[in-house]
Amino acid sequence: MALDPATTRVAYNTRALATFMQRSPENRSLVSVTATLDLGSDIMLSSWAKEKLHHLDFDLGLGKPDAVRRPAFDPVESLLYLLPRALDGEIAAAICLRDEDMERLKADKQFKEYARYIG
């Protein structure tokens, strides 16, 4: 779903931020894209779902990968990665939540309708 330019200021705010940073390089350290992030209720999302990596072979004699994952996932509360889509179309998600939030997610009826927890 696209953002409606009539009801959002995302484009304007993005241009204003880029202009500020370009015109005031000495103030770049004042800019924080997570300044108003509340890790107790907000989610940071990075999607790699459209990255086509399953065809890579790396010339190691191992063939093509069965799965593509992050080699390490440091625990950062509220961080969620959608990993590259598998050949069968499945998308794995690496999710870091507080224990009680993860338990609620695993028990959620709608979540279980579309996803399964694998540990």
Counting the structural domains of the chain, the total is 2
Asked whether residue 15 is domain-assigned, the answer is yes
Residues 67 and 18 in one domain: no
Look up the pTM and report it. Answer: 0.65
Residues 85, 104: Cα–Cα separation, whole Å: 25
Per the listing, tokens 């997570």 go with 34
Residues 50 and 93 in one domain: yes
Residues 64 and 104 in one domain: yes
10: containing domain: 1-31
Residues 14, 7: Cα–Cα separation, whole Å: 15
pLDDT attached to residue 37 = 79
Query: Mean per-residue pLDDT for 69-83?
Result: 86
pLDDT tens per residue, range 28-74: 888 877 667 788 888 889 999 998 888 888 788 888 888 888 877 78
pLDDT attached to residue 62 = 87
pLDDT attached to residue 30 = 83
Asked whether residue 76 is domain-assigned, the answer is yes
pLDDT attached to residue 31 = 82
Residues 41 and 70 in one domain: yes
Asked whether residue 57 is domain-assigned, the answer is yes
**Confidence class for position 84, pLDDT limits 50, 70, 90:** very high
Residues 94 and 58 in one domain: yes
Task: Give me 10's structure tokens.
Answer: 């995302």
Residues 18 and 69 in one domain: no
Residues 69 and 102 in one domain: yes
pLDDT attached to residue 11 = 84
Residues 74 and 23 in one domain: no
Q: What is the CATH number of the domain that holds 100?
A: 3.30.559.10
pLDDT attached to residue 34 = 67
Strand positions, DSSP E, 65-117: 79-82, 93-96
Residues 77 and 110 in one domain: yes
pLDDT tens per residue, range 92-111: 999 999 999 999 999 999 99
